[in-house]
Homo-oligomer: A and B are copies of this chain.
Protein backbone atom coordinates (compact mmCIF):
# COMPACT_ATOMS: atom_id res chain seq x y z
CA UNK A 1 0.00 0.00 0.00
CA UNK A 2 2.83 2.39 0.89
CA UNK A 3 4.57 1.56 -2.39
CA UNK A 4 1.41 2.25 -4.38
CA UNK A 5 0.87 5.56 -2.56
CA UNK A 6 4.46 6.61 -3.34
CA UNK A 7 3.88 5.71 -6.99
CA UNK A 8 0.69 7.78 -6.97
CA UNK A 9 2.69 10.74 -5.59
CA UNK A 10 5.14 10.49 -8.49
CA UNK A 11 2.44 10.27 -11.10
CA UNK A 12 0.95 13.69 -10.30
CA UNK A 13 2.61 16.95 -11.34
CA UNK A 14 2.95 19.77 -8.81
CA UNK A 15 -0.10 21.48 -10.29
CA UNK A 16 -2.14 18.27 -10.36
CA UNK A 17 -1.23 17.48 -6.76
CA UNK A 18 -2.13 21.00 -5.67
CA UNK A 19 -5.47 20.73 -7.47
CA UNK A 20 -6.14 17.33 -5.88
CA UNK A 21 -5.45 18.69 -2.38
CA UNK A 22 -7.65 21.72 -3.07
CA UNK A 23 -10.47 19.48 -4.28
CA UNK A 24 -10.25 17.39 -1.12
CA UNK A 25 -10.16 20.55 1.04
CA UNK A 26 -13.07 22.13 -0.83
CA UNK A 27 -15.33 19.12 -0.41
CA UNK A 28 -14.51 19.00 3.30
CA UNK A 29 -14.97 22.75 3.82
CA UNK A 30 -18.21 22.63 1.81
CA UNK A 31 -19.95 20.28 4.19
CA UNK A 32 -18.56 21.13 7.61
CA UNK A 33 -17.70 24.27 9.51
CA UNK A 34 -13.98 25.13 9.17
CA UNK A 35 -13.60 24.66 12.93
CA UNK A 36 -14.40 20.98 12.53
CA UNK A 37 -11.76 20.25 9.89
CA UNK A 38 -8.13 19.41 10.58
CA UNK A 39 -5.19 19.09 8.19
CA UNK A 40 -5.25 15.38 8.98
CA UNK A 41 -8.79 15.21 7.56
CA UNK A 42 -7.59 16.87 4.35
CA UNK A 43 -4.59 14.54 4.11
CA UNK A 44 -6.82 11.52 4.66
CA UNK A 45 -9.43 12.68 2.13
CA UNK A 46 -6.70 13.21 -0.48
CA UNK A 47 -4.99 9.91 0.45
CA UNK A 48 -1.67 11.62 1.20
CA UNK A 49 0.44 12.32 4.27
CA UNK A 50 0.07 15.36 6.48
CA UNK A 51 3.65 16.55 5.69
CA UNK A 52 2.80 16.47 1.98
CA UNK A 53 -0.18 18.77 2.60
CA UNK A 54 2.18 21.14 4.47
CA UNK A 55 4.67 21.03 1.60
CA UNK A 56 1.99 22.41 -0.74
CA UNK A 57 0.29 24.64 1.82
CA UNK A 58 2.94 25.76 4.34
CA UNK A 59 0.35 28.13 5.85
CA UNK A 60 -1.62 25.05 6.94
CA UNK A 61 -5.39 25.06 7.35
CA UNK A 62 -5.77 28.83 6.96
CA UNK A 63 -3.95 28.82 3.61
CA UNK A 64 -5.88 25.76 2.42
CA UNK A 65 -9.16 27.37 3.43
CA UNK A 66 -8.37 30.58 1.59
CA UNK A 67 -7.27 28.68 -1.53
CA UNK A 68 -10.40 26.51 -1.43
CA UNK A 69 -12.55 29.62 -0.99
CA UNK A 70 -10.81 31.28 -3.95
CA UNK A 71 -11.47 28.22 -6.10
CA UNK A 72 -15.14 28.11 -4.98
CA UNK A 73 -15.41 31.84 -5.76
CA UNK A 74 -14.20 31.18 -9.32
CA UNK A 75 -16.84 28.47 -9.77
CA UNK A 76 -19.54 30.75 -8.36
CA UNK A 77 -18.58 33.69 -10.57
CA UNK A 78 -18.97 31.42 -13.61
CA UNK A 79 -22.58 30.78 -12.49
CA UNK A 80 -23.33 34.48 -13.00
CA UNK A 81 -22.46 34.49 -16.71
CA UNK A 82 -25.63 34.52 -18.82
CA UNK A 83 -26.26 35.65 -22.41
CA UNK A 84 -27.97 39.05 -22.70
CA UNK A 85 -30.97 37.75 -24.61
CA UNK A 86 -34.63 37.15 -23.86
CA UNK A 87 -36.73 38.39 -20.94
CA UNK A 88 -34.73 39.58 -17.92
CA UNK A 89 -36.66 37.31 -15.53
CA UNK A 90 -35.61 34.26 -17.58
CA UNK A 91 -31.96 35.27 -17.32
CA UNK A 92 -32.26 35.91 -13.58
CA UNK A 93 -34.02 32.57 -13.09
CA UNK A 94 -31.24 30.65 -14.84
CA UNK A 95 -28.53 32.44 -12.83
CA UNK A 96 -30.45 31.81 -9.60
CA UNK A 97 -30.88 28.11 -10.48
CA UNK A 98 -27.10 27.76 -10.83
CA UNK A 99 -26.49 29.83 -7.69
CA UNK A 100 -28.94 27.81 -5.59
CA UNK A 101 -27.43 24.55 -6.90
CA UNK A 102 -24.05 25.87 -5.69
CA UNK A 103 -25.53 26.78 -2.29
CA UNK A 104 -27.13 23.32 -2.09
CA UNK A 105 -23.82 21.65 -2.93
CA UNK A 106 -21.69 23.70 -0.50
CA UNK A 107 -24.31 24.03 2.22
CA UNK A 108 -22.45 23.92 5.54
CA UNK A 109 -19.37 25.71 4.21
CA UNK A 110 -21.51 28.39 2.58
CA UNK A 111 -23.40 28.98 5.81
CA UNK A 112 -20.22 29.03 7.96
CA UNK A 113 -18.58 31.48 5.56
CA UNK A 114 -21.46 33.93 5.42
CA UNK A 115 -22.54 33.68 9.05
CA UNK A 116 -19.15 35.08 10.11
CA UNK A 117 -17.31 34.68 13.36
CA UNK A 118 -15.39 31.71 11.98
CA UNK A 119 -11.79 31.05 13.10
CA UNK A 120 -10.59 31.13 9.50
CA UNK A 121 -12.29 34.41 8.67
CA UNK A 122 -9.78 37.16 7.85
CA UNK A 123 -9.76 40.38 5.89
CA UNK A 124 -8.67 38.23 2.90
CA UNK A 125 -11.66 35.86 3.11
CA UNK A 126 -13.97 38.87 3.57
CA UNK A 127 -12.40 40.49 0.50
CA UNK A 128 -13.00 37.31 -1.53
CA UNK A 129 -16.67 37.25 -0.54
CA UNK A 130 -17.01 40.97 -1.31
CA UNK A 131 -15.41 40.32 -4.70
CA UNK A 132 -18.10 37.71 -5.47
CA UNK A 133 -20.82 40.19 -4.48
CA UNK A 134 -19.30 42.86 -6.69
CA UNK A 135 -19.03 40.43 -9.62
CA UNK A 136 -22.70 39.47 -9.18
CA UNK A 137 -23.76 43.14 -9.07
CA UNK A 138 -21.76 43.98 -12.21
CA UNK A 139 -23.35 41.07 -14.08
CA UNK A 140 -26.88 42.14 -13.17
CA UNK A 141 -26.16 45.76 -14.06
CA UNK A 142 -24.90 44.57 -17.48
CA UNK A 143 -28.27 42.87 -18.06
CA UNK A 144 -30.12 46.06 -17.14
CA UNK A 145 -28.29 47.54 -20.11
CA UNK A 146 -28.19 51.14 -18.88
CA UNK A 147 -26.97 53.68 -21.48
CA UNK A 148 -23.71 55.63 -20.84
CA UNK A 149 -22.53 56.93 -18.39
CA UNK A 150 -23.89 53.72 -16.86
CA UNK A 151 -25.81 52.89 -13.70
CA UNK A 152 -26.16 55.60 -11.05
CA UNK A 153 -26.01 55.20 -7.28
CA UNK A 154 -29.69 54.33 -6.75
CA UNK A 155 -29.78 51.53 -9.30
CA UNK A 156 -26.46 50.19 -7.95
CA UNK A 157 -27.78 50.31 -4.40
CA UNK A 158 -30.94 48.48 -5.46
CA UNK A 159 -28.98 45.69 -7.15
CA UNK A 160 -26.60 45.34 -4.20
CA UNK A 161 -29.43 45.17 -1.68
CA UNK A 162 -31.18 42.52 -3.77
CA UNK A 163 -27.98 40.46 -3.84
CA UNK A 164 -27.80 40.69 -0.04
CA UNK A 165 -31.44 39.64 0.14
CA UNK A 166 -30.62 36.60 -2.04
CA UNK A 167 -27.76 35.69 0.31
CA UNK A 168 -29.95 36.11 3.38
CA UNK A 169 -32.73 34.03 1.82
CA UNK A 170 -30.20 31.31 0.92
CA UNK A 171 -28.96 31.15 4.52
CA UNK A 172 -32.52 30.96 5.86
CA UNK A 173 -33.24 28.29 3.26
CA UNK A 174 -30.29 26.18 4.47
CA UNK A 175 -31.27 26.82 8.07
CA UNK A 176 -34.79 25.54 7.36
CA UNK A 177 -33.63 22.25 5.84
CA UNK A 178 -33.78 23.57 2.24
CA UNK A 179 -37.48 24.44 2.44
CA UNK A 180 -39.31 25.56 0.30
CA UNK A 181 -38.09 23.81 -2.88
CA UNK A 182 -35.25 25.57 -4.69
CA UNK A 183 -37.49 26.43 -7.66
CA UNK A 184 -40.06 28.06 -5.36
CA UNK A 185 -37.34 30.08 -3.66
CA UNK A 186 -35.96 31.08 -7.07
CA UNK A 187 -39.37 32.30 -8.27
CA UNK A 188 -39.83 34.31 -5.08
CA UNK A 189 -36.37 35.90 -5.47
CA UNK A 190 -37.21 36.84 -9.06
CA UNK A 191 -40.50 38.36 -7.82
CA UNK A 192 -38.49 40.32 -5.25
CA UNK A 193 -36.22 41.64 -7.98
CA UNK A 194 -39.18 42.87 -10.06
CA UNK A 195 -40.73 44.41 -6.94
CA UNK A 196 -37.53 46.22 -5.91
CA UNK A 197 -36.88 47.40 -9.45
CA UNK A 198 -40.43 48.76 -9.72
CA UNK A 199 -40.38 50.39 -6.28
CA UNK A 200 -37.01 52.03 -7.02
CA UNK A 201 -38.34 53.14 -10.41
CA UNK A 202 -40.89 55.23 -8.49
CA UNK A 203 -38.20 57.68 -7.34
CA UNK A 204 -35.26 57.18 -9.73
CA UNK A 205 -35.69 58.09 -13.43
CA UNK A 206 -32.81 55.87 -14.56
CA UNK A 207 -34.29 52.85 -12.78
CA UNK A 208 -37.69 53.74 -14.27
CA UNK A 209 -36.19 53.61 -17.77
CA UNK A 210 -34.49 50.28 -17.02
CA UNK A 211 -37.71 48.87 -15.53
CA UNK A 212 -39.77 49.95 -18.57
CA UNK A 213 -37.25 48.37 -20.95
CA UNK A 214 -37.14 45.15 -18.91
CA UNK A 215 -40.95 44.88 -18.59
CA UNK A 216 -41.39 45.44 -22.34
CA UNK A 217 -39.43 42.21 -22.99
CA UNK A 218 -41.46 40.10 -20.55
CA UNK A 219 -44.06 37.57 -21.70
CA UNK A 220 -47.56 37.45 -20.18
CA UNK A 221 -46.96 33.84 -19.11
CA UNK A 222 -43.54 34.66 -17.60
CA UNK A 223 -42.73 35.62 -13.99
CA UNK A 224 -43.50 39.34 -14.41
CA UNK A 225 -46.92 38.66 -15.99
CA UNK A 226 -47.78 36.10 -13.33
CA UNK A 227 -46.69 38.46 -10.56
CA UNK A 228 -48.68 41.38 -12.02
CA UNK A 229 -51.89 39.33 -12.26
CA UNK A 230 -51.45 37.97 -8.74
CA UNK A 231 -50.67 41.36 -7.19
CA UNK A 232 -53.71 43.11 -8.68
CA UNK A 233 -56.30 41.51 -6.35
CA UNK A 234 -54.18 42.48 -3.32
CA UNK A 235 -53.68 46.12 -4.31
CA UNK A 236 -57.10 46.65 -5.90
CA UNK A 237 -58.61 46.87 -2.43
CA UNK A 238 -56.34 49.85 -1.78
CA UNK A 239 -57.98 52.06 -4.41
CA UNK A 240 -58.34 54.77 -1.75
CA UNK A 241 -54.59 55.38 -2.12
CA UNK A 242 -54.78 56.45 -5.78
List residues of chain A with CB under 8 Å of any chain B CB: 115-117, 121-127, 129, 153-154, 157, 160-165, 167-169, 172, 176, 179-180, 187-188, 191-192, 194-196, 198-203, 208, 211-212, 215-216, 218-220, 224-235, 237-238, 240-242
Q: How many copies does the complex hold?
A: 2
> Which B-chain residue is minimally distant from A127 (CB atoms)?
B117
Residues of B within 8 A of A160 (CB): 168, 172
A97 and B36 alpha carbons, distance in the complex (Å): 42
A15 and B191 alpha carbons, distance in the complex (Å): 52
A33 and B125 alpha carbons, distance in the complex (Å): 17
Minimum distance in angstroms from A109 CB to a CB of chain B: 16
* Cβ–Cβ contact B241 & A215, under 8 A: yes
Please tell me which one of the listed residues B116, B169, B220 contacts residue A157 in the complex, with CB atoms under 8 A apart.
B169
Which A-B residue pairs are the 8 nearest by beta carbons? A117-B126, A195-B199, A202-B230, A164-B168, A215-B238, A195-B195, A225-B241, A161-B165
